Amino acid sequence: MSTTSRRRWPMIALVIIAACGCLALAWWQWTRFESNSGSFQNLGYALQWPFFAGFCVYAYRKFVRYEEAPPAPSDTSRTQIPEGLLPQRPATSSPAVDDDPALREYNSYLAELARNDQDRQDRTTA
């Protein structure tokens, strides 16, 4: 027995339960519409629920059709973007010269911390 036919009965049961549930909700909304406190919103829901039940059946049939004969794969080749179609990024200026002594001192401090950290990571511990 194939896995497709083994999964078919639970799927059919699920579709029947879902469609019956939608139709039961439609009946409930219809009785609410006919009651004294009913409104046109209940009528709208009563007319809407059968469409949901129909969609459950439609989705199951589409699923079975795709399972038996999957749709042909579409052409997923990538296309080249023509040159000049996208806006160009602004060119970055050259890095600033280290004229600030505080910045040079801070950068050397960071370099020393990185060296110390690298030395600690190179050690092996038992």
pTM: 0.52
- Specify if 89 maps to a domain: no
Contact 12, 64 (CB under 8 A): no
Q: Give Cα separations from 102 to 75, 94, 108, 111 (angstroms).
A: 58, 21, 10, 14
Q: What is the pLDDT of residues 9-57, one digit of tens each?
A: 889 999 999 999 999 999 999 999 998 888 899 999 999 999 999 999 9
Let me know if residue 58 belongs to a domain: yes
Q: Which of 82, 68, 89, 90 is nearest to 2 (CA)?
A: 68
Alpha helical stretches, state H, the chain: 3-34, 40-68, 101-122
User: How confident is the model over 59-87, as pLDDT tens digits?
Assistant: 999 998 888 887 777 776 777 878 888 88
Q: Domain count for the chain, please give it.
A: 1
Look at residue 107 and give its three-state secondary structure: helix
Identify the domain containing residue 40 by its residue range: 3-68
